[in-house]
Structure formats: structure tokens, C-alpha cells
Amino acid sequence: MITKLTIAEAADKLAKKEISAYELAEAALQRIEETDEKVKAFLRVTKDEALKKAAEIDEKRRQGEELGALAGIPVAYKDNICTEGVLTTCASKMLHNFVPPYSATVVELLQQAGSVMLGKTNLDEFAIGSSTENSAFFTTHNPWDLKRVAGGSSGGSAAAVAAGQVLFALGTDTGGSIRQPAAFCGVVGLKPTYGLISRYGVVAFSSSLDQVGPVTKNVEDCALVLNVLAKHDPRDSTSVKREIPDYAGALTGEVKGLKIGVPKEYFGDGIDPQVKAVVRKALDVLLSLGAEAEEISLPLTEYGVPVYYLIAPAEASSNLARFDGIRYGYRAEADDLEEMYTKTRSEGFGAEVKRRILLGTYALSAERFADFYLKALKVRTLIKQDFDRAFAKFDLLLTPTTPNVSYIKGEVQDLLTEYMNDYCTIGASLAGLPAISVPCGYVNGLPVGMQLIGKPFAEPTILRVAHAYEQNCGLERKIPTLTEMGGSPSE
């Protein structure tokens, strides 16, 4: 099946003219048509545009024109990334009719590289959530077990890649929203260093945390996509101008002598013992390749979740204030302006979004600013210093990506339990560090992710280690069955 190909494999076949971009797009679209009623990864599919773009790529190849690095490769975008002329809803009633007049920088870069957009993927509304259960439209199902969540907020992107509907997808990560669904769906997900990839054209949730990143089938593909996306963007004031390495060229497989820190706080009582065992077994693979490991302490880890759930809602409160029914998006019928504001925001936003807005507004209020928001910022600095001290001695850190494997839809009713899903991923987000989730095994047939956290802009290091693990772990590549779990996943 063509859609089982990785980016590198497909690019090789396209270059050799063993397949055409049109055939690849057609096969992916057929896969979406056959499977998405079960998976529900896509909010919309851009079939006509995709086939037209693929045909153009084929014609350029026939004419001998120079093509981009991802020419003819199918991609999907999380639906909070603006795409010119294509509905972009953020999975919210508030933006049910919003068609952007421009594309995000990451979309422009991938278009220039020749990728073929197949559509927009589901997410938790405005990227707020950990399961896509907060989408205003429907919940995305985990391809490994359709009763379970795909994770969030980039659950649609992770599920689309895992189900073989696209060769790669883009998501956004605020507190773990690429890495957590990647772990749940058994794919690779990268949150880059804050400022490495442009956020221009990405609908903001929490501006000091949001980052765009790739979701791919393997680490090599992740590096290939990062080569395209890692560019300075003068339209994004947080975009960092620096020399960009060849990330794919960094995949040497050499890890001998690298020092890995293993934070004990990430292997504590709140982590499923079976998940811990799988991740420790993955560490053994790296040790067998010559890496060195030592248990360390990041004592402020326990404060990551409360700090995040003050800073992120506060920034969300500010960013989401623009959705008022006046300029664009949903507008409620009302007799006067004040009623229109109130009804629009009450009807347009879902429950979790309103909860975060209320929490953030409270934390920013004059009476509570110093007690909550300001204090959270100070502790955030201390958390970053925790990581700085660790990286003075170690090249990278290794942890589980999530405390548990994917859970059954509707099973988590307690908000605190849901928020703790981000326990392992929030620290790197608060510190602005690069982190990658790599599949490292299974618990009861469900994927487990290993997280590697690096120093700022040390993407080459974490990609190299992740790739070395992937090439030597001995794990058979399993394909999700797209059924409700009844037995072991198919080989």
C-alpha cells in the first residue's frame, strides 16, 4: 500500500518515477475515504486542490524543473494553522465560517517545498485540551483502539499519520499537544525549541508556549520536515535568527559517550508501572550503544502543572478576547451590543475554553495578579533553572512522554486527572526546550512514547539519539487495526 511509505521512501520512488505525485495523492485520499469514518481525524478534506497540486508537481518533474525537498508528499494541517482560502475553524463554533485571506508561514514553506495538502485535522477547541473530546464537532478515535482517544490537542494530526492517511502532518504544542498524541498513536512528534519555527498564521492559544512541529512515521521523516520548517521569519517577533544545521545529516547513529539524565520525578508514583518498565527498557538500548545514564532530580517538576495552568489560561484569556462577534466568526442574534458580546462568547465557545478564560481572567485580575500570575512566572523561571543545571552536566534527558497509555473516550471525568496527562511534557514547554516523543514499545497492545529533552536548539542531538534508538530497538513496525481492541495489533 502506497500510504505505508515514509517520506524518505516516497521521495525516492517519486524521484525514480516509480510512482507519481498524483498516484500518491490519490492513494492517500482513497485511504482517507475508506478509514476516516472510523478515525475521524479530518475536519475537511481538500481533494480537488490536492489532485491539482499533485498533477502540477508531476508536470514539473516531466519538464525537468527543480523541485522542492518534499515535492509530491501528502500533508495535513491541524485546523488552527491558517490556510489561504481553506476554512480554518480551530474546531470551534466561534470560527465555523472563517476562511483566512493568507497562509501561515509553515504552510508557505511546505508549499514551496512541493508538499500536497490533503486537508485540515481535528483538535481540541482552540488547542485547549488533551484528547480532542473538546472539539466542537467530534472526537478523534485512536487508530490502535477506536474506543480510545487519540490524545490532544493535535489528536487529528497524530491519528491521520498513524492510520496511514497522510505521510506527515503538522500540529501545535503548548504543553505537550504534539508529543502526547504522538505517544498515544505510536508515531513520532517533535516540539521544537521556542522560536525555531515561525508561529505567524497560527491561531494563538498561549503565546509564550505555542510551537508548531511535525508529526511523522519515523525520526528520519521528522528531520526532513524540520529542514524545511526551521527558518527565520521576520513576521514573527519570537522567531530566532540563527544558523540552521542539516537535521537529516545529523542522523549518524552515534551516541557513544553521550550523557543522559534520567529525572526521578518523571518515574514516580503517578506514572503507570508498565509504562515506566517499557521506557527503562528503551534506555537500556541506548546504554548498549555506548551512551551513559545517571538518575538526577528536577525538584520543581511537581510545580509544572499548576504553573502551566495559570500561565496558559491567562494568555488564552488575552488571546481569545478578540473573538467577540464583531470582526469575524460567529455572531449571536441580540437586541443590543452588550447582549451580543455576551451571547456570542457564551454560545461560540465550548465549556473547556470558557473554563480556561475564566481561570485566566481571574489570575490576571488586579486583586490576584501578584498572588497567581506573577508568582507562576517566577516559578517558571525556577523550573527553567532546574533544567539549566541538569544540562550543565548532561547532553539530554530521558522520560516517559505520558503517565499512561491512551484511555477510553469519556473515561476521564475529573479535570485534574485530565490536566495531569501533561505532567511529563509541560516542563520542556515552560523552559522552551526541544523535546521529541518516539514510540518505544507497547502496554496491552497500546503504544508507549519515550521523550527525549534537549538543550535549547539541540534538535540535532535529540533527533540523532531518537534515530539511533529507532534503528537498534528491535521493535517490529506494527500497523493499527482501526478496530476496537479485541486482540493484538496486526504486524
How far apart are the C-alpha atoms of 154 and 132, rounded to whole Å?
A: 8
C-alpha cell, 403: 503517565
Q: Are strands 259-263 and 292-296 parallel, antiparallel or unpaired?
A: parallel
356 in Cβ contact with 316 (< 8 Å): yes
Other beta carbons within 10 angstroms of residue 85's beta carbon come to 12
- With beta carbons less than 8 A apart as the criterion, state whether 203 and 126 touch: yes
Phi, psi (deg, nearest 5) at residue 426: -65, -40
Nearest CA to 352 out of 205, 207, 158, 170 is that of 205
- Is 131 a known active-site residue? no
Beta strands in 279-344 (DSSP E): 292-296
CA distance 349 to 345: 6
Catalytic residue among 92, 135, 153, 406: 153
Cell match 526546550: residue? 433
Helices (H), 117-196: 155-162, 179-185
CA separation for the pair 255, 461 (Å, rounded): 9
13's enclosing H/E stretch is: helix 7-15
Residue 177: active-site member: yes
Q: In this structure, which amino acid lies at residue 445? A: G
Active-site option among 177, 198, 239, 406: 177
The helices-and-strands tally (H runs, E runs) of the chain is: 15, 13
- Measured CA to CA, the distance from residue 465 to residue 471 in angstroms comes to 10
- 481: cell is 487495526
How far is residue 427's CA from residue 380's CA, in Å, rounded to a whole number?
A: 9
Check: CB of residue 336 under 8 Å from CB of residue 325. no
Q: What count of other Cβ atoms lies within 10 Å of the Cβ of residue 336? A: 8
DSSP secondary structure string, 6-39? -HHHHHHHHHTTSS-HHHHHHHHHHHHHHHHHHH
Residue 406 a catalytic site member: no
User: Could you please report the per-residue DSSP string of 354-365?
Assistant: HHHHHHHHHHHS
Q: Catalytic residue among 53, 78, 191, 409, which?
A: 78
Q: Which residues are catalytic?
A: 78, 153, 177
